[in-house]
């Protein structure tokens, strides 16, 4: 099922989610570096990474919702999609609260702020897996007729035409 929201032939949601995932994961790494090095500079960097990751997640979410709306009701993909969405809302909420708790002194986050961020990071591993299920197992966001010889999405030619031609050549 092709994504509803696309840019240059590719799903926008799949393009955007790498940013919040990377930024929020980097925040966790910076928190760990801050703890190990006892250097608040890294904790402050984590604070800003969390803010950027939250913004990225909020930007990516509507495109995922648009794609989810196109999934036929009553399917496993629709159920996996809602779990993925709800889980990612929970991830964002955990990071939002973590960020909020850090705002007075970003260089010295309290234990609860760290725990919330790390919990959000752990949950994001599960929600990322669910996103992989949607793409890899259910074909959500995959061009119809996708195949190893499909032309570039910029060519204006459909992937299906290439797969149909390939089937005819094999018979």
Per-residue pLDDT tens for 69-88?
Answer: 999 999 999 999 999 999 99
Residue 141 banded pLDDT, cuts 50, 70, 90: confident
Beta strands in 26-154 (DSSP E): none
pLDDT grade for 58, boundaries at 50, 70 and 90: very high
Residue listed under structure tokens 């390939």: 166
Helices (H), the chain: 12-16, 18-37, 40-70, 76-102, 111-132, 159-170
Report, as an integer, the average pLDDT of 41-45.
98
Measure the CA–CA gap between 74 and 162, rounded to whole angstroms.
31
């Amino acid at each position: 099922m092709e994504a509803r929201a696309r840019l240059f032939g590719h799903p926008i949601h799949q393009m955007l989610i790498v940013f919040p995932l990377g930024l929020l994961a980097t925040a966790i790494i910076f928190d760990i570096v801050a703890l190990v090095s006892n250097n608040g500079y890294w904790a402050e960097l984590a604070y800003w990474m969390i803010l950027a990751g939250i913004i990225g997640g909020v930007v990516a979410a509507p495109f995922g919702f648009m794609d989810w709306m196109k999934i036929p009701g009553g399917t496993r993909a629709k159920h996996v999609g809602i779990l993925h969405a709800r889980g990612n809302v929970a991830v964002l909420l955990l990071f939002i609260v973590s960020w909020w708790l850090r705002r007075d002194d970003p260089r010295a986050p309290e234990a609860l702020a760290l725990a919330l961020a790390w919990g959000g990071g752990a949950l994001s591993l599960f929600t990322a897996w669910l996103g992989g299920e949607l793409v890899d197992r259910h074909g959500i966001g995959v061009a119809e007729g996708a195949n190893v010889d499909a032309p570039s999405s910029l060519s204006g030619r459909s992937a299906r035409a290439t797969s149909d031609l390939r089937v005819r050549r094999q018979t």
